[in-house]
Chains A and B, each alone.
Chain A
Amino acid sequence: AQKITQTQPGMFVQEKEAVTLDCTYDTSDPSYGLFWYKQPSSGEMIFLIYQGSYDQQNATEGRYSLNFQKARKSANLVISASQLGDSAMYFCAIGNAGGTSYGKLTFGQGTILTVHP
């Protein structure tokens, strides 16, 4: 079974500063993917960034980067230069690329990020 743990129920950051959202995971599968999604109050899950378990370099997508530490089983999301529009719920998720769990995502409990002006 796969598990995601997000230990920060809420985080606050000043506009234009960087913030790190924590995520640890547990899986026995050698091949997996880690995802971060943003969920505004409207409810839609917006894909932010993906990291494959065999990727050598940390993933980056614009202001988002994923700090992947495989030995520690952590996949923290770093948002640089925070904007007011970044205020939302953020979910970390893990999924498999194959096998019986193909395409199934397991989500954490989420972290509410609030950006202050």
Chain B
Amino acid sequence: DAGVTQSPTHLIKTRGQQVTLRCSPKSGHDTVSWYQQALGQGPQFIFQYYEEEERQRGNFPDRFSGHQFPNYSSELNVNALLLGDSALYLCAGHRGPYNEQFFGPGTRLTVL
């Protein structure tokens, strides 16, 4: 059984550009949550997808958007990149009423 996968592993963009990050949860996990982790900080919740809809959202601007596909994989899109968007982006999958979450290796985004 494959674990949680994320792509790409590293990404370098310039201010104002747009980026798309991808995540595939473990088999059987139908809910995907995205987190942003700045250097030296704990992860911050961005949003969560379930049944292809955004179920809840953290304190992030509309520049951050997402999508979930029928196979439960998910994308995180960030528009108009700012220097402050530089961070490790983690996705996590889980299923049902249990919120034990399994994380992917993350995508490290650098905005220059």
Q: What residues make up the interface of A, taking CB atoms closer than 8 Å to B?
A: 4, 33, 35, 37, 42-47, 50, 91, 93, 95-98, 100-110
Would B48 and A37 count as touching, CB distance under 8 A?
A: no
Cβ of B88 within 8 Å of any chain A Cβ, yes or no, is yes
- A95 x B43 contact (CB < 8 A): no
The answer to whether B48 touches A104, judged by C-beta atoms less than 8 angstroms apart, is yes
Chain A residues near B97: list those with CB within 8 A.
97-98
Cβ of A102: which chain B residues have Cβ within 8 Å of it?
48, 55-56, 99
Q: What are the 10 A-B residue pairs with the smallest beta carbon separation, nearest first?
A: A107-B42, A45-B103, A103-B99, A95-B99, A44-B105, A43-B106, A104-B45, A107-B43, A109-B42, A50-B100
Q: Are A100 and B56 in contact (CB under 8 A)?
A: yes
Give the chain A neighbours of B31 by CB distance below 8 A.
103
Interface residues of B (CB under 8 A from A): 31, 33, 35, 41-45, 48, 55-56, 58, 88, 90, 92, 94, 97-106, 108
User: Which of these, A44, A100, A103, A108, contacts B104 with CB under 8 Å?
Assistant: A44
Given A101-B56, A105-B33, A110-B42, verify A45-B99 contact (CB < 8 Å): no
Q: Give Cα A88 to B94, complex, Å.
A: 24
| Bound-state Cα–Cα, A37 to B103, Å | 10
Picked from B56, B58, B92, the residue with its CB within 8 Å of the CB of A45 is B92
Q: What are 30 of the A-B contact pairs (CB < 8 Å)?
A: A35-B100, A37-B103, A43-B88, A43-B90, A43-B105, A43-B106, A44-B105, A45-B103, A47-B100, A47-B103, A50-B100, A93-B42, A96-B99, A97-B98, A98-B97, A102-B48, A102-B56, A102-B99, A103-B33, A103-B94, A103-B101, A104-B33, A104-B56, A104-B58, A105-B33, A105-B43, A105-B99, A105-B101, A109-B42, A110-B41
- Minimum CB–CB distance from B97 to chain A (whole Å) comes to 6
* Minimum distance in angstroms from A28 CB to a CB of chain B: 17
Known: A47-B103, A93-B42. 15 other contacts (CB 8 A): A35-B101, A43-B105, A44-B106, A45-B92, A91-B43, A95-B99, A96-B99, A97-B99, A102-B48, A102-B55, A103-B56, A103-B101, A105-B35, A107-B43, A107-B44
